[in-house]
Amino acid sequence: MRLTVIGTGYLGATHAACMAELGHEVLGVDVDPDKVAALQAGRVPFHEPALPELLAKHTASGRLRFTTSYEEAAAFGEVHFICVGTPQRKDSEGADLRYVDSAFASMARYAGPDALLVGKSTVPVGTAGRLADTHAAEIAWNPEFLREGFAVEDTLRPDRLVLGVGSERAEALLRAVYAPVIAAGTPVVTADFPTAELVKTAANAFLATKISFINAMAEVCEATGADVSVLAEAIGHDDRIGKKFLRSGVGFGGGCLPKDIRAFAHRADELGVSLAFLREVDAINMRRRDRVVELARELCGGAVLGARITVLGAAFKPDSDDIRDSPALNVAARLRLDGADVTVHDPEAMDNARKAFPLLGYAVSAEEALVGADLVLHLTEWPQFREISPDTARSLVSRPRIVDGRGVLDAAEWVAAGWEFRALGRPAPGEADRMGRLKR
Ligand code: UDX
C-alpha cells in the first residue's frame, strides 16, 4: 500500500520506517525542512535502538521518502497517519492540540474523497469526533503504545492493535496496513472513537499509578524501616498485581506519562468526572525528586552549598537521549540552584542536557564525573553505571557517599568498599534492625 506519515518526530519517524519494513511504500511529511533532509539522508535525529538501521535500509531502497509538502502527500497515498505531538499547554494542564488540528486541516484540504486520515497522537477523549465533524475526509483513531528504547519492537510486535473506526471500509484499510502484524497473532481491538482515544490515556494513567503506588509505599517504608524492593518483589508474585512497572525510585518522567496524566485529569474536569487521584499520582512522583534533594542535603551535613555533587544520568530513562521531564536533571538543577557544584554524566543525553541546562557541569565519562565528588547521585539506571566498581569509584571521589535513586545498585558491595550508601524506600545499612526498629 502507499501510506503517508504526517509528523516525523519520535513517533512518526518510527512509524514510517516500520511501515516500510512491513512492505508498504511510505512518504513521511514534516514542516521542518532540516528534519526532512536528515531523515531522507538516513539519519535519525534522536537515539533509538534499531531505528537507524531500518531508516537507512528503506531510504536506500526508495521504499521510504520524506517531504515537506502536504499536497504531495495527499496525492501519494490513500491512508495518512497523523503522528504530531500533543504537548502540555503553557497555560493549563490540558493538551495543546494546535499541531493535531493543523495537520488534519492541511491533509483534509488536499486529500481526495477516498482518503482515510488516521490519528495516532495521544489526544483528549472527544478529539476524533470533533475532527470528524469538522472535516469531510473519513477519520480513524489508532493509538500507539510504543516505549522509547523499544519503539521499533513495540511497533512491529505490539501487544495489541486498537482500531477506532467509524466504518467497515476504515477497518478493512487498517487491517490491510497491519496485515503482517495481525498474521503474527497480535490481538486486534476495534472500538468507537472515544473508546480508542481512552485506551491510550487509560493505559498511561494506569502505568503512572502503578509507579506512584510503589513510590508511595517507599515513603511508608522510609517512615518504618521497611524495604520497598523486598515489598515490591513479594506483592509482585501475585499475578493480579504482577512484577512489571513496580520499580520504585526517583519516579517517572519523559514526554508521555507526566503530561498525559495531567491532560487526562484536566479533560475529566471538563467532562464533570473526577480523576483527582491522578493529581496525587503526579504529586507522589514529584515528592520522590524532593526526597533525593533532601537526602543530598542530609548527607552533605545540612546544606549542599559548595558541595561537589556527581549526578549519574540525565536521560529520563536508560536507552534514551530524551531529557523531557527528566527526574535526574530536575534534581541536578535544584541542587545547582542551592549552590552545589554539579557534574553530570550520561551515555547518550549529554548534548540535549547541555543545551537545556547550560549551568550544570558535564563530564565525558562516569569516571571523570566522579573525580573529587563529595556526593554521588545515581538517578538514571544505565547498565554501565551498575558496572562501576565501588572500589575504583572510591579511589576517585573525595567523600564516598552515594544515593541510589533507582534501587538497582548492590548496597552490600558499596558498603563493603567503604561507602556511605542510601537508597530510596530502603533503610540505610545499619539504620534499622531486623525488627524494623529505626536506630536514628
Ligand atoms: C510510556 C509508556 O510505557 C508507553 O506505552 C507510552 O506509549 C508512552 O509512555 P516511555 O515514556 O517511553 O513509555 O517509558 P517507560 O518505559 O514506560 O517509562 C516511563 C517512566 O517510568 C520512566 O521515567 C521510567 O524510569 C519510569 N519507571 C518505569 C519507573 O520509575 N518504574 C518502573 O517500574 C517503570
- Ligand 1 in reach of 316 Cβ (< 6 A): yes
Cell of 202: 487509560
* Residue 320 CA, closest ligand 1 atom number: 12
Instruction: Dump pLDDT digits (tens) for 239-260.
Output: 999 999 999 999 999 999 999 9
pLDDT at residue 289, as a whole number: 98
Instruction: Dump pLDDT digits (tens) for 119-176.
Output: 999 999 999 999 999 999 999 999 999 999 999 999 999 999 999 999 999 999 999 9
Which residues are CB-contacts of 304 (< 8 A; sequence separation ≥ 6)? 296, 297, 335, 338, 339, 340, 375
* 430 — pLDDT class (breaks 50, 70, 90): confident
* 319 — pLDDT class (breaks 50, 70, 90): very high
Cell of 358: 547550560
pLDDT at residue 317, as a whole number: 97
pLDDT at residue 429, as a whole number: 78
Pick the catalytic residue from 18, 83, 221, 256: 256
- Ligand 1 in reach of 66 Cβ (< 6 A): no
Instruction: Dump pLDDT digits (tens) for 353-403.
Output: 999 999 999 999 999 999 999 999 999 999 999 999 999 999 999 999 999
For the segment 407-436, the average pLDDT, to the nearest whole number, is 88
pLDDT of residue 437 exceeding 80, the answer is no
pLDDT of residue 439 exceeding 70, the answer is no
Q: Hey, whose CA ends up nearest to atom 13 of ligand 1?
A: 147
Distance 407 CA to ligand 1 centre (A): 16
Q: Any known ligand binding at 30?
A: yes
Spatial contact of 99 and 22, defined as CB atoms under 8 Å apart: no
Q: pLDDT above 70 covers what percent of the chain?
A: 98
pLDDT of residue 440 exceeding 60, the answer is no
Other Cβ atoms less than 10 A from the Cβ of 83: the count is 27
Distance 393 CA to ligand 1 centre (A): 29
Q: Which domains does the chain have, with CATH numbers?
A: 2-191 (3.40.50.720), 206-423 (3.40.50.720)
Other Cβ atoms less than 10 A from the Cβ of 365: the count is 11
pLDDT at residue 404, as a whole number: 98
Q: pLDDT above 90 covers what percent of the chain?
A: 95
Q: Any known ligand binding at 120?
A: no
Give me Rg for the CA atoms of the chain.
24
Backbone angles phi, psi at 291, to 5 degrees: -65, -40
Distance 250 CA to ligand 1 centre (A): 12
Q: Hey, whose CA ends up nearest to atom 6 of ligand 1?
A: 145
User: Which pTM value belongs to this model?
Assistant: 0.95
Which residues are CB-contacts of 426 (< 8 A; sequence separation ≥ 6)? 221, 227, 228, 229, 407, 411
Cα angle value 82/88/90 (rounded, 5°)? 130
- Ligand 1 in reach of 334 Cβ (< 6 A): no
Residue of 344 and 427 predicted with greater confidence? 344
* Catalytic status, residue 256: yes
pLDDT of residue 309 exceeding 60, the answer is yes
pLDDT at residue 260, as a whole number: 96
* 284 — pLDDT class (breaks 50, 70, 90): very high
Q: Hey, whose CA ends up nearest to atom 23 of ligand 1?
A: 252
Cell of 103: 495537520
Q: Which of 409, 92, 374, 129 is nearest to 249 (CA)?
A: 409
* 435 — pLDDT class (breaks 50, 70, 90): low
Spatial contact of 3 and 19, defined as CB atoms under 8 Å apart: yes
Q: Hey, whose CA ends up nearest to atom 25 of ligand 1?
A: 317
188 alpha-carbon distance from chain centroid? 24
pLDDT of residue 7 exceeding 80, the answer is yes
* Identity at 295, one-letter amino acid code: L
Cell of 283: 504529586
Q: What is the mean pLDDT of the chain?
A: 96
For the segment 20-38, the average pLDDT, to the nearest whole number, is 97
Distance 354 CA to ligand 1 centre (A): 23
For the segment 16-20, the average pLDDT, to the nearest whole number, is 98
pLDDT at residue 431, as a whole number: 72
Checking phi first, is residue 436 left (phi over 0); if not, alpha (psi -120 to 50) or beta? left
